[in-house]
Structure 1
Amino acid sequence: MQIFQSIGAIASRAHGFDASLERGWRLRVRVMSNELLRIVVEPDKGLPLDRTWMIAPEGDTPWEGRNRDDAAGFSPPHAALEKSGEAHILTAGQFRLTLMGAPLRIAIEQRVGDEWRPWISDRDTGGFALTDRGERIRHFQKRPFEDRHFGLGDKTGPMDRTGRRFRMLQLDALGYDAAIGDPLYKHTPYMAVQSGGVVGGLFYDSLAPMTFDLGCERSNYHGIYRYVEIEEKGLDLWLIAGPDLASVTRRFAMLTGRQALLPRWSFGFAFTTMHHADDVNGQEVIKAFAERCRTEEIAISAIHFGSGYSSRGKRRYVFTWNKSKFPDAKALFARLTELGFPTVANLKPVLIDDHPDYTSIKTAGGFVKDEAGEPVLEQFWDGMGSYLDFTNPETGRWWQSRLTSQVLDVGFTAGWNDNNEYEIGRDGALATGFGTPVTATATRPLHALLMTRATYEATQARDANVRPFTVTRAGPVGLQRYCETWSGDNETSWHTLKWNLRNGLSMALSGQSKVGHDVGGFTGPRPRPELLCRWVEMMALHPRAIMNSWKPDVAPDWSAATVPWLYPDVLPQIREALNLRTTFLPLMYSLAYQAHQDGSPIIRPLFYEFPDDPRAYEEHDSMMLGPDVLFSPVVEEGARTKTTYLPKGPAGWIEFHTGVLHPAGSEVSVGAELGKPPIFIRVGAALALASATPFVKPHDAPARLLYLATAGESGTGEGRHFEDDGLSWGLRNGQFLDLRVALSWTGRIVSARLSRAGGQWPIPTAGDWRVVTPGNSGGVDLKIDG
């Protein structure tokens, strides 16, 4: 390992500086805005990939990527560079950077109010080093014991990542351990570091495999440190100012592209299973399931098909139909539409070697290739196949054409991008790279991103007036611009239920706000009644809630699937949990609009909202839905009560199911019978919730229940509510309502004033609202501005 030591000539540049290093390497520092600082360490020929698909300050990137040095969308401030002894100091915006040599290292301070506070600094024995004969680079930093580390996206274990080592490498991690398993499905080389009371973000803009060591490794010669290793020549690091976690999270989301506002039906409960579409009578099985959902009064919004509609035996042939299992697909879709179900088709990015389009795609150069130019063959679904190369524009056009003709035109509403981890192991494998070949193993996440984008844009092209929906299992930072995602093929267990909660919160802190987990567990044993009910309860307040299973050891046919009515004894409680989701869905959708606007996550750990409460950082089986709703699902077998910590800050917390007021900063034990997971509302919250819980199209239930959380002799509060038609792009021309609620109370009199914050839709009249004021039996003075 060679640690960079000396600094050569330093040249001041517009909004930054360049410095020469040994072996022809150089350091480039650029101030991109008051809150963004970019540090590049690169060889003489530049970074291996001169483009980025993850940085998108203007909302998206070109298909072929964005030049890394493109300043469009940024507003660099004035930067002052001065020399102080042997150090060079750059001051700009909220950052002060100190550069030192012998060895090369950097220290960063953040401006907090009128003072500079230390944030992060490189290891005294050297901050940057080359390994593997210069083919990899490591970045070393000091790691004070008090530091906390959050983020890294789709990762397992506690929210604070300190003490763990993580690998950034997309894998099809079937049945992973939700507490310690690694790596998983997505590529998110971003973390927020809290040090010395200051929070900031570090984003390593590389698609290559990486390692984040946040406290595993120690060496007597280097003190306590952390490091990031990137498996390519060079480093492109973005620093994001805080000084708090909420600011960093929003800024990271705006830097990499805001969460897409997906159709409202995608926020409802949905269902899928491999067993239904895989069945020899797939069409009849799916039709019977949809009809039984209505008979059983299950509040379900959509049905997703597994890939069995395209299978022959165990082999999957994307964009084909098995006419034996689905003899009349159009009739099936007509019936599902009649029942009110949007439908989503599972899609795979590999063509098995006897796929009917394999030869034509090979001729067009549409596969990832070996050094001889031949398609790389990899094991895939009980056969050998080749991964589609989405950096070849012809491949993208073929994908969109087939998606339209074989999926959307047949009757599906949308596509689901699955098994797209691109586990390419062939050394020397290449992708077209839009005319500049790139190493396939170093750009695996890119194909998942472009596959998802191709699906999104094809869906949009089919109906320009409707907001498209899609979902992906894999991909890098930026996938949120097009889709929702989830934690992949989880295992059915109480252990997974507990730890998946944190996995979703980690993705939410990493820019991917529309997230969830497979309800009931995907693989492993069939869930027992209590566990199935608790799974439905936990996902009731998650942005994505889809029951999904693959249990081949349970039964040989469709009966192996986990379904809502699997256990009649708990079906009433499952219905109750689904109705709870319907009740809170308007709030969830309003928070999704906020995420789309400014990057605020829909779900959040307690410390996101209450950073000054030390106990909020402890391990809690709880989360926040927006700023006002604390959700504490039961994750232990046999429990009928739940002990929950309620953070300091509010005037109190109101238990949603009982109306009981609990003091802030206290630990409480409350009832948690099946179907009623504990929920607490912050005093001062004004929530617009669903005023009914229909089981047909529950996502369209009107939000006309005004829940006003009041307590004590007097107080004030506020709330926001967004609504539109839930489907179209009418919100672009004002066809929506952004409603502001101002709340105050004195004694037994509660006053609420509703006013327009945006949009052209009229505010519902006072008579349209049902008002609930738990803990206050007095009158409500409801005023409507305008």
Structure 2
Amino acid sequence: MTKFRTIKLVLLILLAPAALAQNLQRSMQSFTDKGEHLEVVTNDGRYLIKPYSDKIIETSFIPNGERFNPESHAVVLAPSKLKTQVKVSVAGIEYAIAGMLVSINKSPFQISYAYKGKPLISEKNGYAKKDGAEVLDFNLDASEALYGAGARALGMNRRGHRLPLYNKAHYGYEERSSQMNFSMPLVFSSKMYGIHFDNAPIGFLDFDSRKENVLAYETISGRKTYQVIAGDSWEDIAANYTSLTGRQPLPPRWAFGNFASRFGYHSETEARSILDKFTAEQIPVDAIIFDLYWFGKEVKGTMGNLAFDTDNFPQPKKMMADFAAKGIKTILITEPFILTTSGKWNEAVQKNILATDKNGQPFTYDFYFGNTGLIDIFKPEAKEWFWNIYKELNNSGVAGWWGDLGEPEVHPSGLQHQGGSADQVHNIYGHNWAKLIADGYHKDFPAQRPFILMRSGYSGSQRFGMIPWSGDVNRSWGGLRPQPEIALQMGMQGMAYMHSDLGGFAGANLDDELYTRWLQYGVFQPIFRPHAQEEVAAEPVLREQKIMALAKTAIELRYRLLPYNYTLAFENNQQGLPLMRPLFYEEPHNEKLFAVSDSYLWGHEFLVSPVLKAGAKEAQVYFPVKNNWFDFYTDQQYTGGSTQMVALQAEHIPVFVRGGAFIPMSRTIQNTSHYSSRELDLHYYHDAAVKTGQGKMYDDNGETPQAFEKGAYGLLQFSSAVKRQQVLISLSSKNGQHYQDVDRTLSLVLHNIQSKPHRVLLQNKALDFVWDENKKLVSVKLVWRKNTKPVVAISFRK
């Protein structure tokens, strides 16, 4: 509704149902439809209700005496021009936007939200001040499960907890951690809606800790703004939330390979030796990560040097160039702390790039690494200073960045940043640090995709290309068990590349079974990066022969799955879909799945069940109901909707493929510099119950930012059809105008073919094929000529 009108409403005291009679002290006095938003005046302030789309609506409350602050650190979506409608009744008003409906009860005042006729959530008391905090609270249904609040280890359903919104490292955590490096003011409900509280200062999210069916957001200050996000499916909700806060850019393709990493490599000689071992053992590796020792001989006293220690790294440019010539990227750790004993302390003070005390002097304090100041990431001069260091090192050959301790790890409340106190900006420090690097690449290295590994961030940090990890987890089975939960939760919240230090980080625990199972899980998580304290080796080339062989098998599979995994990254980039997805994405109304995290979907086609207990011989696996599933390693079929016991094997964890799925795979390579889509293995999992199937594979050069938007991409499309005594496999491609298509050699493998084909035809010409009666496989080799749409017909006798 675009017509500007103001309606003064007579205040009516109505007998409301008990569920609505929440706050008798609040009432609506008037409203104004301003076209792009609705303004509602209450006795204690005013509400601005603004639609962003037909599935996202924002509500802001401005208490009397305050001004509206329009600045959001999370939201990037521009509101769409939408047709709205206001309907007035004696009880209140209804504000309708396509599928979304906002209902406002006059007195007692209450706002409620619905989507396509289904109630989502309602304010309880709405805004209130309580115990020095500002609070927004909401009514919950008794049965809904709650997710969100960033990274925690609490169990998949986080209802019942009051969670601090304060990014904080938890060294050596295991199965339970209520406070970790990411604390995002974001909630998702099993009723299929989300609420994002769009405010940076610290506070709490209370997920009904008092068991009164109340959700509450508490903050020390700032905006009283939240967005309600609805959708028709979980995939739709993920797309809507990431359209609001931004989508993750495609990482460089090498990011999906294996990394050599530990805390840490002390010298160039040590680093070269490790990489030589990977080559000798023919274990694929794409990058090496340097921890603290690249800038200092000791852990303490050197942080902030931000320059190679030339004693142990005498020729860093040559070292990195030599690595790059072998296809291996160099990643350096950086921290935002400048120690008073570091080589850059005087420069940092002189150039005024540090956070200050209330008198404007550099704020110094002690923490584990020494006496320190903190870079004020919010100051323009500090951003320029910090970026110039990154820029110089990038020009020297550094290919990626690790931002550590970015909560910040120690951040005294008395410290002042430009634009706010430590507590006001604490949770967006890492977010703005990632933005600094992303913006710098966009300006100075526009042809290079950044790699930004960071421990802490905020809502929307994904749009800067931030790749988060789950912190300093204990090297134990208790440390492994919550990792799927953490990654699944963060994927739901836009941070789809959440992953763990494979093998565990903290402690000198040598447990070969744990190490192996963690790496096998790592094949099916977003980033494959073994990393640990150096007392026990994280690198597979330093483990005993049997364990190294198992690790090598896992790493080689990771590389063979590169076409599939890279396509998942493309889906995330374009649609906001997580790479790891909870089972309730598949069955959103199955309450038994609301708390499940020990099995998950890897993309759409894989079901993965990590081994999370020592000595386990079998695992209970639920198979989602929509399809039959096939063991990835044996092709054994499992019926959708069933729960079955699966025997465990030392060589791999249980992995299953959806009936009707296409899985594109590549050949084993030493690193992604040797990757080519000219030779592919395409696996099709035939299921007679699936009459038509579809798949795809995204391809680009692995380097160009926004390759899809620039038309520098190929999208290979696969489809299947079952017709009488035939299985038809159709191949086509949809290529951008700047993509150079090529002829491809394709090894097509059809699984679950119960009888020997009578013949196999390509464009009506006979093809040689191999029929494996024991494994029920049909294998065909063909050349897929560029710019053609071949059809392979597998025919059977009647």
- Are 1:597 and 2:574 matched, yes or no? yes
CA distance in 2, matches of 1:546, 1:354: 32
CA distance in 1, matches of 2:172, 2:690: 51
Deviation string, structure 1 residues 367-403 (Cα, Å, up to 9, x no partner): 1212111122233442111111121111111111111
Q: Which residue of 1 aligns with 2:122?
A: 121
Shift of residue 47 of structure 1? 5.9
User: What is the 5 A alignment of 1:321-720?
Assistant: 321-405=308-392, 407-423=393-409, 425-432=411-418, 437-482=419-464, 483-551=466-534, 554=535, 563-650=540-627, 652-690=628-666, 692-697=667-672, 700=675, 702=677, 704-712=680-688, 715-720=691-696
CA distance in 2, matches of 1:98, 1:110: 11
The residue matched to 1:412 in structure 2 has which SS?
coil
Q: Which residue of 2 aligns with 1:5?
A: 26
Q: Which residue of 2 aligns with 1:64?
A: none
Amino acid corresponding to residue 450 of structure 2 in structure 1: P
CA distance in 2, matches of 1:78, 1:543: 40
**Aligned CA-pair RMSD:** 2.4
Amino acid corresponding to residue 57 of structure 2 in structure 1: L
CA distance in 2, matches of 1:184, 1:212: 14
CA distance in 2, matches of 1:348, 1:229: 30
CA distance in 2, matches of 1:189, 1:3: 28
Shift of residue 506 of structure 1? 0.6
Deviation string, structure 1 residues 324-373 (Cα, Å, up to 9, x no partner): 22222223223322332111110101111233332333343321212111
The residue matched to 1:344 in structure 2 has which SS?
strand
CA distance in 1, matches of 2:24, 2:546: 64
Contact 1:378 1:424 in 2 (8 A): no
Q: Which residue of 2 aligns with 1:193?
A: 189
Contact 1:301 1:697 in 2 (8 A): yes
Q: Which residue of 1 aligns with 2:73?
A: 53
Distance change in 2, residues 1:325/1:762 (3 Å): closer
- Are 1:261 and 2:236 matched, yes or no? no
- Are 1:158 and 2:155 matched, yes or no? yes
Amino acid corresponding to residue 420 of structure 1 in structure 2: G
Q: Which residue of 2 aligns with 1:35?
A: 55
Distance change in 2, residues 1:696/1:712 (3 Å): same
Q: In the alignment, which of 202, 206, 210 is matched to residue 209 of structure 1?
A: 202
Contact 1:287 1:335 in 2 (8 A): no
Contact 1:739 1:763 in 2 (8 A): no
CA distance in 1, matches of 2:197, 2:31: 24
Percent identity between matched residues is 21
Q: In the alignment, which of 138, 142, 154 is matched to residue 141 of structure 1?
A: 138
- Are 1:19 and 2:40 matched, yes or no? yes
CA distance in 2, matches of 1:755, 1:476: 40
Out of 756-765 and 240-249, give the one that drifted further.
Answer: 756-765
Deviation string, structure 1 residues 721-744 (Cα, Å, up to 9, x no partner): 101111124544322211121112
Contact 2:50 2:57 in 1 (8 A): yes
Distance change in 2, residues 1:28/1:174 (3 Å): same
Amino acid corresponding to residue 635 of structure 1 in structure 2: L
Q: Which residue of 2 aligns with 1:61?
A: none
CA distance in 1, matches of 2:496, 2:636: 31
CA distance in 2, matches of 1:379, 1:87: 57
Unaligned runs of 5+ residues in structure 2 are 1-21, 764-787, 791-798
Distance change in 2, residues 1:682/1:412 (3 Å): same
Distance change in 2, residues 1:529/1:17 (3 Å): same
Out of 776-785 and 740-749, give the one that drifted further.
Answer: 776-785
Q: Which residue of 2 aligns with 1:60?
A: none
CA distance in 2, matches of 1:154, 1:48: 30
Deviation string, structure 1 residues 260-288 (Cα, Å, up to 9, x no partner): 10100001121211132xx3xx2211111
CA distance in 1, matches of 2:674, 2:98: 44
Amino acid corresponding to residue 28 of structure 2 in structure 1: I
CA distance in 2, matches of 1:633, 1:167: 30
Shift of residue 613 of structure 1? 4.1
Contact 2:277 2:541 in 1 (8 A): no
CA distance in 1, matches of 2:569, 2:476: 29
Contact 2:659 2:690 in 1 (8 A): no
CA distance in 2, matches of 1:48, 1:354: 44
CA distance in 2, matches of 1:627, 1:654: 14
CA distance in 2, matches of 1:45, 1:323: 59
Distance change in 2, residues 1:660/1:425 (3 Å): closer
Contact 2:73 2:200 in 1 (8 A): no
CA distance in 2, matches of 1:201, 1:713: 35
CA distance in 2, matches of 1:583, 1:561: 22
Out of 180-189 and 249-258, give the one that drifted further.
Answer: 180-189
CA distance in 1, matches of 2:262, 2:51: 49
CA distance in 1, matches of 2:36, 2:384: 40
CA distance in 1, matches of 2:512, 2:690: 45
CA distance in 1, matches of 2:127, 2:733: 53
The residue matched to 2:120 in structure 1 has which SS?
strand
The residue matched to 1:9 in structure 2 has which SS?
strand
Q: Which residue of 1 aligns with 2:780?
A: none
CA distance in 2, matches of 1:630, 1:699: 29
CA distance in 1, matches of 2:391, 2:676: 31
CA distance in 1, matches of 2:109, 2:462: 36
The residue matched to 2:691 in structure 1 has which SS?
strand
Deviation string, structure 1 residues 299-323 (Cα, Å, up to 9, x no partner): 2221111021112522212422222
| Structure showing greater Rg | 2
Q: Which residue of 1 aligns with 2:288?
A: 303
